[in-house]
Amino acid sequence: MSEPEGVSRRGVFVKLGLLFNGAVAVALAVPVVRYLLSPVLRAHGTADEAWVSLGPAMRFPAGQTRLATYQNPVARPSDGATAQLPCWVRHVEGEKFQVFAINCAHLGCPVRWFPQSSLFMCPCHGGVYYADGSRASGPPERGLFEYRWKVEKGELLIEAGELPTPGGRALASLAAGSSRCA
């Protein structure tokens, strides 16, 4: 007896298995390829960089540090209230500012400003920072992360497309020559 011509049951399952494995491989490869190409894409200006206003520079009196919030430029509608990000703004003098991420450099807990002692303090593990954001004591090994900033038409703007990190800050200071952008 001869087998009927056509596709066997085993052949159908083999083809379905190959199709399924190919779809899984493509689904896993897309984020990996995107991750590997992200430095190249970022270098060509496709990164999520945005200058965001914190409001009029007059809102921050000289010699004071105040809490400000801004809308995350890469937020999605589903982010809700979490798209509002806080930061600390220190008006040094004239048109010189420092804008700090609210997160402690140790484990990311939100730091709080105490004007009586002119210190930022972290409630989680006792990290303490001076008014200029440099480390005073505790477990953090470095100062607070700083945003790049500029004043345009009386508005204080920060570069908020990326969260400030040691690598980003080092690269930004090399590119700009300082933490202030002209």
Is 69 among the domain residues?
yes
CB 178 within 8 A of CB 78: no
Q: Judge whether 3 lies within some domain.
A: no
3-state secondary structure of 9: helix
Closest to 163 in 3D by CA, of 70, 32, 65: 70
User: Which residues touch 112 (CB under 8 Å, ≥6 apart)?
Assistant: 120, 121, 122, 123
Higher pLDDT, 158 or 41: 158
Q: Residues 36, 60: one domain? A: no
Q: Where are the beta strands (DSSP E) in 34-177?
A: 51-56, 65-71, 84-93, 96-101, 112-114, 119-121, 128-130, 135-137, 146-147, 149-152, 155-159
**Full residue range of the structural domain in which residue 115 is found:** 50-177
CB 57 within 8 A of CB 95: yes
* Residues 115 and 149 both lie in one domain: yes
Split at pLDDT 50, 70, 90, the class of 160 is: confident
Burial of 169 (0-12, 13-18, 19+ CB in 10 A): middle
CATH number at residue 145: 2.102.10.10
93 and 35 within one domain: no
19 and 82 assigned to the same domain = no
Residues 64, 108 share a domain = yes
Domain membership flag for residue 2: no
Question: pLDDT tier at 4 (50, 70, 90 boundaries)?
Answer: low
CA separation for the pair 70, 51 (Å, rounded): 11
Instruction: Flag whether pLDDT at 158 surpasses 60.
Output: yes
How many domains, in total, are found in the chain?
Answer: 2
Per-residue pLDDT, averaged over 149-161, amounts to 87
Q: What is the pLDDT of residue 166?
A: 59
Percent of the chain with pLDDT over 70: 81
Q: What pLDDT is stored for residue 94 in this prediction?
A: 85
Both 54 and 37 in one domain: the answer is no
Beta bridge mates, 56? 155
Summarize pLDDT for 76-105 with one digit per residue, the tens.
888 888 888 899 999 988 889 999 989 988
Give the model's confidence band at 164: pLDDT under 50 very low, under 70 low, under 90 confident, else very high: low
Mean pLDDT of the chain: 82
Going by the DSSP 8-state scheme, the letter that residue 77 receives in this structure is: G
Separation between Cα atoms, residue 136 and residue 123, nearest integer Å: 14
User: What are the structure tokens assigned to 86, written together?
Assistant: 């806080």
* 9-62 residue pLDDT tens: 999 999 999 999 999 999 999 999 888 887 777 665 544 568 888 989 899 999
Residue 54, phi then psi, degrees to nearest 5: -100, 0
Task: Give the pLDDT score at 89.
Answer: 93
